[in-house]
Amino acid sequence: EEPDIMIYGEAPPNSQMPVTEETKNLVMHASLTIFGTVVMFMDTTPDMQVNQGDNIVLTIRSKDLDEVQSFFNKMKNGGRVLMDLQETFYSKCYGMLIDKFGIPWQFIQDTD
């Protein structure tokens, strides 16, 4: 299966995340299926501080909206919500949080 890659320059304009000459060719989202497991990647932008230990983000993907909401609501307890579950240009339901152990998570409802 071919990897799915989107660079920042291909994304719809977003005032909260402006694309610059420095970031336009960086990977915003990439996924690759390895032995049946989807592994997702992205580049860090110059404004992102990278600290060893939090330089990986785990992702839960499901077609089931209730499942996405349930995981998000359970894992936000004791953690910090970075982005509440909401519709984005790439998902009907997407959110981000840092769990009580300091691990960043993304939650994505797959629609296809």
Please report which helix (H) or strand (E) contains residue 66, including its range. Answer: helix 65-75
- Our count of domains for the chain comes to 1
Residue-level pLDDT at 53: 62
Residue-level pLDDT at 52: 64
- Give the domain range for residue 23: 4-109
pLDDT, tens digit (0-9, with 9 covering 90-100), for 59-93? 888 899 999 999 999 999 999 999 999 999 889 99
What's 54's domain CATH number? 3.30.720.110
pLDDT, tens digit (0-9, with 9 covering 90-100), for 2-37? 788 999 999 888 777 789 999 999 998 888 887 677
Band of the pLDDT at 101, cuts 50, 70, 90? confident
Nearest-angstrom CA–CA distance, 16 and 26: 17
Per-residue 3-state assignment (H helix, E strand, C coil) for 72-91:
HHHHCCCCEEEEEEEEECCE
Residue-level pLDDT at 73: 96
Say which residues have a Cβ less than 8 Å from residue 88's Cβ, sequence separation at least 6.
94
Q: What are phi and psi of 38, to 5 degrees?
A: -80, 120
Band of the pLDDT at 54, cuts 50, 70, 90? low
